[in-house]
Chain A
Amino acid sequence: MAAVREIEPIVLDLNRLEQMAESGYYNPYTMFDWPDSIEPDKPWMSENLTTLAGTPMWDELTREQQIALTRWEAVNFFSLNIHGIRELMSEVVMRIHEKTYAHVSEFLHHFIGEENEHMWFFAQFCLRYGGKLYPAQPTLKVASADHLSPVAREMIVFARILIFEEIVDYYNSYMATDQTLPPIAREINRVHHQDESRHVAFGRMIFQNLLGQVMKRDPDEVPLIAEYLENYLQYSIGTLYNPAAYRDAGIPDALALRRRALEHPARIEAHDKILKRTRSFLSKVGAGREVIRR
């Protein structure tokens, strides 16, 4: 956190986003109608968003396994949300009253508050209907961006938050209107999508501000940042393929299946679709994968 002092103060025009956060404020603890149980034949996640969708591996499953996979992958998706929120909240909390962030502190309060509420309803869903969360995946206790300058590392903190939110939003926006899902699953996705549109707008603004600071100090660092971000996109996609979810769905050879699925052309096409919006944005601001020096 000493690094924050080396960053120029972040000044953004957030009036509109703050007004929207205030006018759209809701009580998450009372707004959802949680049924005691979910009908056994309903998927919890849209079938074509599962990690085997579009491959023969999906067709080879029994209907029972297919439904089970939608359920455990929904629990995995919401668990990833929870762990992602834990990471981003701790980062933002440590910055909220630093001088660098004084101008955006008002919005950061809305941001943290809303993220805490999202974490609550995601966990409610997992625990009520799945009986558990999946644990966070193992990480090296060594920072992965140590080779970058302080301002670039600061930018990476917000880039990770933004990328995570954009990927999640791809799923939320689709499931918000998927009529095959039980209403509670649809509703959680819809509410999250609504809040995240503001968070993504903020995330893009702060990312551009910090990227601008990096470019001003050392433009040669941008290819390294682009490389990190591309690796982070790939890493994020990988987390959606959780062998534990395959095992819980009663599918054998979970690790080999995961490897086959990740490499399948239909899935690579699906990944490109999921990442399209984020990649276009990164390219537009000059930090896309095309600037990586191979």
Chain B
Amino acid sequence: MSDPIQAVRDFIIERNPKLGEVPDDLDLIDSRAINSLAFVEFIFLLEELTGEPIDPEALDLDDFRTLAAIQARFFSQKASL
């Protein structure tokens, strides 16, 4: 997939059609755009997009709170390599 953050956005919209759009700074957890039932699928999506396993023991919730945080934590380093 060419734009991984777009794939993340699509995942969220697909599960929350009422949202319409996902601002970069929307708190995905507090707004329940990603709830605990969708979380496993979300982790698998991120693993697939980054090609790296995510250690469930070492999860920091703040890495998943906003699209901006997800971009910074999972996609920025790769992009600059």
Contacts and interface: CB of A to CB of B under 8 A. Distances in A.
Interface of A: 135, 137-144, 147, 231-232, 234-235, 238-239, 243, 255-256, 258-259
A258 B43 CA distance: 13
A140 B56 contact: no
Contacts of B35: 140, 142, 144, 231
Contact of A255 (B37, B38, B39, B48): B48
Contact of B39 (A139, A232, A256, A258): A139
Given A138-B56, A141-B61, A231 B43 contact: no
Given A142-B29, A256-B48, A235 B43 contact: no
B44 A235 contact: no
B40 A138 contact: yes
Interface of B: 29, 32, 34-41, 43-44, 47-48, 54, 56, 59, 61
Given A135-B56, A147-B32, A140 B47 contact: no
A147 B54 CA distance: 29
Question: Main SS of chain B's interface residues?
Answer: helix
A231 to B, nearest CB: 5
Contacts of A144: 35-37
B44 A140 contact: no
22 contacts: A137-B40, A137-B56, A138-B39, A138-B54, A138-B59, A139-B39, A140-B34, A140-B61, A142-B35, A142-B36, A142-B61, A143-B36, A144-B35, A231-B35, A235-B40, A238-B40, A238-B41, A239-B40, A255-B47, A256-B48, A259-B44, A259-B48
A279 B26 CA distance: 34
